[in-house]
Amino acid sequence: MAKEIERKFLVLSQAYRELGQGKAYHQGYLAENDRAVVRVRTIDRQGFLTVKSATLGLVREEFEFEIGYEEACEMLEKLCQKPTIKKRRYKVPHQGLVWEVDEFELENQGLVVAELELPSTDHAFEKPDWVGREVTHDKRYYNTELVRHPYQEWRGEP
């Protein structure tokens, strides 16, 4: 069982594009309750099934399994809550850590979020110049929430 310690931030500029290469992600949610969420995802031509515990502060339990790409696509099409999430993810190294920058598409077009996975909750880090305000505790930025309430519907919200 892996633990995920993650922080989320808004992105101020596209400078990260020069520092990493983007990959196509498509993900959807099969089940969600107050204890866990089950996600299916494709990354380019790979499929994954992930179970994550509900967030407890910054720490979550995470179980991820590789599955067939075709099966993942079928689950995304037939079983997942709509809309699904499409995004391009850039992995950008910075001072020994890797920032994951998600450029959302379709119903979430215009939203760009940077995530940072940390080895511990008290691990010190420095934000790159292109990283802005922290939104870790703002549920609107959770991918599960972006399915229910896409960014394009926010109407004047920051």
User: Mind telling me the catalytic residues?
Assistant: 29
The greatest distance separating any two alpha carbons of the chain, rounded to the nearest whole angstrom, comes to 42
> Alpha-carbon dihedral of residues 131, 134, 139, 141, nearest 10 degrees?
-10
The single-letter code of the amino acid at 82 is K
Alpha-carbon distances, residue 21 vs 15, 69, 85, 126 (angstroms): 12, 21, 19, 21
